Amino acid sequence: MDDTLTLDHRTGLPDALRVLLEVHPRDTWPAHDNFAGLVAFWLDRHLMFRKLIGALIRDAEQAVDRKIDAKTHATRLSRYGAMLLENLHGHHQIEDHHYFPILSAREPVLAKGFLLLDSDHHAMDGLLNRFADGANAVLQGQSEPGAFRADLLSFEAMLNRHLVDEEELIVPVILKHGPGGLG
């Protein structure tokens, strides 16, 4: 794969993968007949990931600023960190093994995009492992919340890049073809 397309270098989808997005721009999605149900649910999952990482970052900042005590931070880090890891991993498994093959078959011209997203998931496995190691180090008192916060900011940037690209590739395909066979 071209290095400029890897998750840590990419600034968006290549134009060749944005063809359906041009037909179905983001601001028109909620009004589309195929939006309710699967698309709305799937975007809500992405929103949950964004909220969890945001909460983890805010908590780390509050821990650094001593606005929350170490026990409260540990409780929240354990709870929200586990939610993020478990849900994100499960979400990627469903996409890789169910959604991506079906959607790729529906829009063969975008098959390279689904390979790109699958590649992102493999890259994110390393990020998730680093996240877990960092969270565990904070929970065990082997690392400070400030260092973990820096890792969280990097993780957030790559997670958001992936989520935006995934949304801009997948949602237009579902809007065009409907959710049949995906749910």
pLDDT in tens, 37-87: 999 999 999 999 999 999 999 999 999 999 999 999 999 999 999 999 999
Residue listed under structure tokens 């496995």: 125
Question: Rounded CA gap, 125 and 89, in Å?
Answer: 8
CB proximity list for 128: less than 8 A, separation 6 or greater: 85, 88, 89
pLDDT computed for residue 108 by the predictor: 96
Nearest to 130 by CA among 107, 146, 145, 151: 151
pLDDT computed for residue 180 by the predictor: 87
CA trace torsion 147, 149, 154, 155 (10° rounding): 120
Please tell me the CATH code under which domain 34-177 is placed: 1.20.120
Q: Which residue numbers in the chain have pLDDT < 50?
A: none
pLDDT computed for residue 182 by the predictor: 86
pLDDT computed for residue 1 by the predictor: 60
